[in-house]
Every structure is written in C-alpha cells, then in structure tokens.
Structure 1
Amino acid sequence: MFVAKNNNGMFISLLDSRPKEDLIQLRKEFQFYCSACQHPVQMKLGEKRLPHFAHLRDSKCITQREHETPYHLEGKKQLYSWLKNLSTELELEPFIPEIKQRPDLLIKVNKQQFAIEFQCSQISYEHLSKRTKAYKSIDIHPLWILGESWLKTNADPLFSLSSFQWLFATIPQSTNSNCFPSILYFNPMTKIVTKLSNLTPFSPTQTFATIQKFAPNDTLTEILNASLSLNSQMLTLWLEKKKNWRYQFSMFPDRKLKPLFLELYTARITRASIPAEVGLPFPTVYLIETSAVIWQLWILLDSIIPVTSNAPISFENTYRLFRERVSEGHIKIRHLPNIVGQHYSFAIMDYLQVLTKLGILKRINARNFIKVNEIILPKNGEEALELDKAVLKKLYGGKYTL
C-alpha cells in the first residue's frame, strides 16, 4: 500500500513526489501505522519495487488481501495519476469504516462514488462477491479492473476468458436485461485501458467480443459508456465455431455430454444434424456457462421437439425442466457477482422469444407460447450450413453479410 499514518496521526502518501533521501529520513523519524487495523507497517524502499508500506509478517489486518506485486503497485500508481487529472474528489487507499474495506482508489464522478480495484491476482468468488456487496450497501459502485496480463485472444473478435475473468463482467447501471456485459483491463506499462464489450460466449472458455483501447486522456464516463456493435466478422466466426462443433469427434467424449448424446440418439439426431435453431447468440446468453449449443439443444429436446404442433408450451414448464438439467449437472450456470438483477431464467425466456421470431413458436401471452412449426433437421453438411446462415440472417436482418 502507498498510504499510512505516522505517530502524529498524519497520513503519508508515498506517491507524493519526494526524493528517496527524504523518505529515508521519514522512516528514521516516525513509526507508521495501517489506517485500517492500526498495526505498525514498514516503509519499503527497495530497488525492485516502488516505495510502499507493508504489514509485518504476522499481521492479520481486516483489509489485508493478496500480496501486492510490483505490477499491481505500478498499476495503482498509474491509475491514480490518470484519475487525479479527471476529478478533484479522488482518494488513494481510503479506509471505509462502515464496511471495513480499503479500495485502491475512491473517486466521485457526476455525484456517483466509484471504488476502483485493480485486480492482478486470483481471488475467490466468495471474497469478490462479499466486497462487491459491501460497496453497494453504502451506494458506492465497485469498478473492478483486471491486469491486462489476464487477457488472452485467439483471434479478434474471439477471446479466451476463464471463469475467473467472468467474475469481473459488468453491465451498465440501471439497464435492462437486453444488454451485453463488458470487462475492463489495464496495462501499467502502456497506460492503456482495454474494454471488452458485447461479451457473447460460445463455450465456457471462448467468448466473442468487441475490443476498444483508451488512453489516459479519456474520461472514466467515456470508458464506461463506450460500446461497439456486433459485426459480421463475429457472426461469420460464430458460424464457423458451430460448424466445427457439429463435426467435432473424440474417442473419449466428455462424460458430462453422454446424457445429451443419448438423448440425441433417442431422438434420431446426429451431432452433424443438430437443428440450426441451437447455438444462437443474443444478449443474455452469457448468463449460462455451458456452451450455447448444448443448453439450447437441451431446451429443444426437453420442451420443444416432443410437443406436437399447435400444443401449448409454457415458460414455467420449460424453466422447470431446465432446472432439473442444472441440478443433474448437465448445464452449468455462470456466477456473476458484479451483475445484479439478472437470472439465468432470463436467458431461457429470451430463447423462447428467439424461437418465436424464427417462426417455431407463437407467443399468446407473457409466459405462454404455442408451437406452430416443427424443427427442421438438416440432411447433410451443406444444408446444415445454409440453415445456420438463414437463421442468423433472420435474427439479425440484413444488417450483416454472412
């Protein structure tokens, strides 16, 4: 950490411009204390790291978290340098006694307080969720920024996102469910903020997204509000991934997929002939961690294909059967501590509405549908690809060329 109190109760920031000789003299004259736990801390003035304060080895500070690496310290320093030019209401490592938290930075922008946390090392879902809820309980909006070293790309717009990175996904405040999430990253060396927007996962680890870069002269509001539209390149690559899934073969398939393959066999559907109406991208698809092809296929097999034409289909029954698949381990839900007011049931309802747009269902009221057309199974690979293209064109209109 960069801020501590001396024995006179005065706060000392090591990010203030001071010659090293002055810091050495301060270390000789004063004892320093953590503002949270009030225990003694050491001023570290080594050559490999920025000057900082550190708790003693056996300290059990209520806000002491993971070990701060040089990368983390440098990132915190650069974020502070950037943000102090944007707001006069900026605090470095303030201790908030009401919730016993000490964010890296606390800033007020347009009457909204943001607790900025630069996260470089792995933390648990439980820890992150607890801290996030604590900030929100006192009307502070937590803004988590990952170290850019976490960001991996296969080929833009396809990115490899781990379940850990997904913990930091967020959507704009006061938005509706039809909004794609985003994740922020920061590189202390280049001083560039990277924003992945329109996060649309194809599988648990592979996610399509749009990418934007921001320099220190960009405002926090501009970064948070910035977003690009989905593009035809993303949809083209999505079709390619779906095609690969159709023809993927393994001598030792994932055991979790055996129940699905058994259901497909019973329904006389091969992997290559899965319907074009599965594996479809839309805003709330991110709420479910299991591949979009698989969880949407389960809905068709459980709730749509067995039903005869003109028979009713209710959201309640579809949701009940889906929950059974979740409890049996066939489908996995994504945990998102930074996104509130969203539930995986939204993705189920949105999928039923997609099937309505595709002409398979007809909506009769808020939670009930009628099956008006049968699902068409492609007869060969060429027909499968053409049906996949036709479905995406119907969903996205003439906006994109596939």
Structure 2
Amino acid sequence: MEKFLPGMNQRPDLLIDYNGTTVAIEFQCSPISKKTVRRRTQGYIENNIKVKWILGEKLKVDRKLSTRHYDYLSLNQHGQYNLLQLDEKEKEIMIITNIRSLYKSIDFKKVRLSFNSDRKSVEKIFSLQCDQNHTVKKLKTVETKKLYQLSFYKDERTRRFFELLYLNKISIQSLPDVVFCTVSTEWMIRTFSYQWKLLLYLWVKNIPYNEIITPNRLSRKITEWKKQTDITFHSLPELEKIDTLLPFMTFLNILTRKGYLTDLGDCRWVRTHKNITINI
C-alpha cells in the first residue's frame, strides 16, 4: 500500500522495514526526467530511507546499459551498484549486477529472481560481491587511429585531452601503452577515458623518487583535478558512499605491473628508479 511521506511530499509505491532499515520501493514504468529521479532519490536519502527503483518494460536494460539508467542504480552492502527491472510476463525481477567497463562497452551480469523466491535467495543475490580489479588492454593500433580521427573534430569532451598532449609534447603515437588499459570501475568516471589516465600517468612521472604515494595524497590530487574540472564523475546515487578512489588505485597497480611504480604494501607506492630492474 502506498504511504504518503509528508516531510518529503512523496508517496512511494511500497514502504517496508528490512532488518531495521526503512526501504522505499519505486516501480517506474514510464520514462521521467533525470531531475525528477534525482530529486526523489535525494529526498529519500536525506530522510534516512533507502530506495530501490524497479524499472518497467519501457525502461528496461536489454543489451546495453546507458547513462539514462544510472539514476536508478542502488548500492548493495559491498558498495557496488545494482539495477532492478520487472519482467511481468515471466513473473521475475531481473537484477543487473557486476557492472564493469570492458574493451568497448559496459558489461554486466543478469540474475533472475522469481516472485516465489525465499528470503535467503534474495539476500544471497543482493549480497553478491564482484571483482572490481579487472583490466582489459585495448589494441593500441586501433585506438591510436581513432584518436587521430578525433583530433580533427572540435569535440568538447576530448579537447582537454589533446591539450594535455600538446602541453606535454606527447604525440598520439608516443602515448604510453598503459593508458590503453581499461579499468573495470571506470564507467563511473565521466571524463574521457584516456584523459584521466594520462593525467595520473603524468602526475606519477613527476613525483620525486623518494616520495610515497598514499591514498590520502591521491585523494587530494583527484580533488584538485575535480575543482579544475579535469576529472568529473557521472551523477550516481549515493556516490559519496562508494570508494571513488578505486579506479585510480587500480590504475596505479597497472603502473606498478608496468614498472613505473614499486609497491610498498598497504596501498603505498613510490616511483621506480630508472636504475632498478623490474620484472613484469
């Protein structure tokens, strides 16, 4: 039964208490504006109510997860995003989980949950923890050709990237191979993929050999880039609750495997001195 929440001027389709947590269930069958979804989601969050959006036929994810679906995502207990959609014909809830960036697209796993599923089955699915350190190496020859083509267009999304190349006297052909690696969690980052990796690569290359890179230091640098709008994230629900450092730290681990950094353990790195041989 719909319950009116006067403090929010909202009426969720279903309001339940789950293990001491109030959860609002919103069934969304027809498209509505992003502004409306964000306003309603934020209203629940501000009132300490978790919200689960369940998408209908007109909004469902088929083969491709697009940015229009991002506002309907919800976090599981591991701080990883899921998306729910209703299959009335099969009497099932489809859960989009294990969302990650791959070579050319965003990959995900579909898990079906029958209306007759017991509580343990539901809890098991919602507590799935996915590998977020997966990386894929793109074909440099193919990607450099695309970058050459992009360089002839006045695309605001890539303008800053080509500006960085010019300022640092880097040609497309001489881009380090490491920037062509795809990090599984980078789908959360709105900035052009090669731009944020190049920024991080250049930052690492300019750090003195005796200085340690820590998560706090990395976080401060990312905050600086965000203020300069060199790095932006997609507008995702409860983004402040997830570890937005993860894609950047994963990239630091890639730089470590490639010999640019030495891992000191406990999420600490130093630049690898050029006279030290690194076995990759």
TM-score normalised by the chain length of structure 1: 0.54
Question: Deviation string for 1:347-374 (max 9, x for gaps)?
Answer: 4345435544654323558675310156
Tell me: CA distance 1:369–1:336, structure 2 relative to 1, closer, same or farther (3 Å): same
What's the Cα RMSD here?
3.8
Question: Deviation string for 1:230-266 (max 9, x for gaps)?
Answer: 69xx96xx54587643331233152332332232245
- Give the number of the structure whose alpha-carbon radius of gyration is greater: 1
Corresponding residue for residue 115 of structure 2? 216
Tell me: CA distance 1:339–1:257, structure 2 relative to 1, closer, same or farther (3 Å): closer
Q: Which of 73, 94, 97 in structure 2 is aligned with 1:169?
A: 73
Q: Does the CA-based 8 Å contact 2:96-2:108 persist in structure 1?
A: yes
Q: Partners in 1 of 2:129 and 2:219 — Cα distance?
A: 32
Q: Does the CA-based 8 Å contact 2:24-2:51 persist in structure 1?
A: yes
Query: Kindly, what percent of the aligned residue pairs are identical?
Result: 21
Q: Partners in 1 of 2:173 and 2:120 — Cα distance?
A: 46
Q: Does the CA-based 8 Å contact 1:197-1:209 persist in structure 2?
A: yes
3-state SS, counterpart of residue 280 of structure 1 = strand
Tell me: CA distance 1:228–1:314, structure 2 relative to 1, closer, same or farther (3 Å): closer
User: Counterparts in 2 of 1:45-194, with a 5 A limit?
Assistant: 92-119=1-28, 120-125=30-35, 127-136=36-45, 139-153=48-62, 159-162=64-67, 164-173=68-77, 175=78, 179-194=79-94
**Paired positions, count:** 267
Deviation at 1:160, TM superposition (A): 3.6
Q: Partners in 1 of 2:140 and 2:96 — Cα distance?
A: 22
Deviation at 1:229, TM superposition (A): 5.3
Question: Deviation string for 1:127-182 (max 9, x for gaps)?
Answer: 4344334434555321111224334555xxxx3412x3111222213x3xxx5422
Q: Unpaired segments of 5 or more residues in structure 2?
A: 275-279
Corresponding residue for residue 145 of structure 2? 247
One-letter amino acid of the counterpart of residue 196, structure 2: W
3-state SS, counterpart of residue 277 of structure 1 = helix
Q: Partners in 2 of 1:320 and 1:340 — Cα distance?
A: 15
3-state SS, counterpart of residue 183 of structure 2 = coil
One-letter amino acid of the counterpart of residue 171, structure 1: L
Q: Partners in 1 of 2:124 and 2:176 — Cα distance?
A: 37
Q: Unpaired segments of 5 or more residues in structure 1?
A: 1-91, 375-393, 395-402
Q: Partners in 2 of 1:287 and 1:98 — Cα distance?
A: 31
Tell me: CA distance 1:259–1:340, structure 2 relative to 1, closer, same or farther (3 Å): closer
Q: Does the CA-based 8 Å contact 1:180-1:200 persist in structure 2?
A: no
Deviation at 1:197, TM superposition (A): 1.1
Q: Partners in 2 of 1:365 and 1:240 — Cα distance?
A: 28
**Larger relative contact order, structure 1 or 2 (CA cutoff 8 Å, min sep 6):** 2
Q: Does the CA-based 8 Å contact 1:116-1:144 persist in structure 2?
A: yes
Task: Answer yes or no: is 1:348 the counterpart of 2:211.
Answer: no
User: Counterparts in 2 of 1:357-368, with a 5 A limit?
Assistant: 359-364=259-264
- In the TM superposition, structure 1's runs of 4+ consecutive aligned residues that sit over 6 Å from their partners are none
Corresponding residue for residue 18 of structure 1? none
TM-score normalised by the chain length of structure 2: 0.73
Q: Partners in 1 of 2:80 and 2:139 — Cα distance?
A: 20
Q: Partners in 1 of 2:139 and 2:87 — Cα distance?
A: 30
Q: Does the CA-based 8 Å contact 2:262-2:270 persist in structure 1?
A: yes
Q: Partners in 2 of 1:242 and 1:197 — Cα distance?
A: 29
Tell me: CA distance 1:225–1:290, structure 2 relative to 1, closer, same or farther (3 Å): farther
Q: Does the CA-based 8 Å contact 1:210-1:230 persist in structure 2?
A: no
Q: Does the CA-based 8 Å contact 2:137-2:182 persist in structure 1?
A: no
Deviation at 1:333, TM superposition (A): 1.4
Q: Does the CA-based 8 Å contact 2:31-2:59 persist in structure 1?
A: no
Q: Which of 152, 157, 163 in structure 2 is aligned with 1:256?
A: 157
3-state SS, counterpart of residue 153 of structure 2 = coil
Corresponding residue for residue 337 of structure 1? 237
Q: Does the CA-based 8 Å contact 2:23-2:50 persist in structure 1?
A: yes
